[in-house]
Amino acid sequence: MGFFDLAIIETLNGGDLQLLGNDLAIVNGNENQFYLSMFGGNVEQNTEATITLADSKDWWGNSLLFPSQAALQFNSNTERILNTTELTSIGRVKIENAIKTDLKYLSDLGVTLTVVVSIPETNKVSVEIRGVFQTGDEKVAIINFIKKASGDFFAIDFNNDFFI
């Protein structure tokens, strides 16, 4: 058996681990990569080169696992941009660029990525990510966000289980 990870599902409050009976479900591939890349870091700030632990609000793994490798750190640029950007044509481009920034480490590993962001209606963002991994596996993630009354977004669905 190759590598595995715990399965993540969107629960409208930031995702959760998926249960399978009385156990945790697992995935045997790259299914979680898109979600973790965009929402697994810190929405408040990117990891700084010099960290004062009392003030650090980033994901603890960035400084522990990747202290001098900013390109590998999880910083949730996508989530931050979704929460602070107007839904206009310029905002759509900012959101798309934030997603590409969060997924850049996958591109650096040889994954061919396609990101398409659209605004199908007022206060709604639709994202489609296609990734072709070096193994030949193609994964597709479709994420739809709706802006809440507070101005923040939440994912109304996250579907990354398409195998093409």
Average pLDDT rounded to a whole number, residues 12-20:
73
pLDDT digits (tens, 9 = 90+) for 63-96: 677 777 767 777 788 888 888 888 899 999 999 9
pLDDT of residue 48: 65
**Yes or no: is domain 33-40+76-163 CATH 3.40.5?**
no
SS3 115: strand
> What is the tens place of the pLDDT at every residue in 95-143?
999 999 989 888 888 999 999 999 998 888 888 999 998 888 888 888 8
Please identify which residue in the block is written with the tokens 């597709």: 140
pLDDT tens digits, 146-157: 776 555 555 544
Mean pLDDT value across residues 45-57: 61
* Long-range contacts at 128-131 (CB < 8 A, ≥ 24 apart): 129/34, 129/99, 129/103, 131/30, 131/33, 131/34, 131/103, 131/106
User: Confidence band (pLDDT; 50, 70, 90) for 45?
Assistant: low
Domain-wise residue ranges, the chain:
33-40+76-163
* Residue 5 backbone dihedrals phi, psi, to 5 degrees: -140, 160
